[in-house]
Amino acid sequence: MLLWVNQHPVPVTGILAPSGGEALDNALLLSPAAAELLAVPIRERVVVATIPGRAEALHDAIPFALAPANPGGVDVSVPSDLASLQASVATNLTGLMNTLGWVVLALAAMSAATSMLLSIHQRAPEIALRRAVGATRSAGLEGRRSVRLDCQGQPGRAGAVGGGLRAVHQHRVAVADLAGQQLRG
């Protein structure tokens, strides 16, 4: 059997059985002499299968094994490691949630301070009238203290309940992750 390559007959020495891999099933294996008949440069491709977790070590070793004289001329691509990708996404998401939590906490503190300030400004005429009637300065401070406790008490309790619920949720997630790792391991 002959195969014509650039108007030159090249004898076919054999046909490989299908391997099930697309890379080899669609490949044409040529001798160096037959490859010279082609006008386009040939791109060689080697597919290496490895056990999970060993791809990075092979990534560093393959160029030296295929081309010891010119390891920089070998381009090696490694598929992404899903476990490290998942860990990276989880770390970034945790950082984002922590930052968002701090921003919300700061906004809540500013809201409470603004509420307290507006409450005191609204009561300014009442405080002035009490002082004019003869109330002492400590009586005015006592009134401000009660306003401050009202403004800060309820958000503080809500924050404590929310924090407790978050801690319980994080504990349950950690226990479920640990159980899943023990089942896989």
- DSSP track, 89-116: HHHHHHHHHHHHHHHHHHHHHHHHHHHH
Under DSSP, is residue 154 helix (H, G, I), strand (E, B) or coil?
helix
Question: What is residue 138's predicted lDDT score, i.e. its pLDDT?
Answer: 67
φ/ψ of residue 134, rounded to 5? 130, 10
- Sorted by sequence, the CB contacts under 8 Å of residue 2 that are 6+ apart come out as 9, 10, 11, 12
Other CB atoms within a 10 A radius of the CB of residue 55 amount to 16
Burial label for 40, CB within 10 Å (0-12, 13-18, 19+), is: exposed
Least confident of 19-23, 61-65, 92-96: 19-23
Give domain limits for the chain: 2-73, 82-184
What share of the chain has pLDDT > 90, as a percent?
9
Q: Contact at 8 Å (CB) between 141 and 149? A: no
Report the C-alpha gap between 150 and 178 in whole angstroms: 43
- The pLDDT of residue 179 is 72
Is the Cβ–Cβ distance between 59 and 81 less than 8 Å?
no
Amino acid in the structure at residue 85: L
pLDDT over threshold 90, residue 57: no
Answer whether residue 10 shows pLDDT above 80.
Answer: no
Q: What is the pLDDT of residue 135?
A: 72
Question: Token pair for residue 14?
Answer: 């054999």
Indicate yes or no: pTM above 0.95.
no
Average pLDDT, the chain: 77
Output the pLDDT for position 123. 76
pLDDT at 155: 72
At residue 98 the predicted structure's pLDDT band, cuts being 50, 70 and 90, is very high
**Residue 40: pLDDT above 60?**
no
pLDDT confidence tier of residue 140, bands split at 50, 70 and 90: low
Q: What pLDDT band is residue 164 in, cutting at 50, 70 and 90?
A: confident
- Per-residue pLDDT at 107: 94
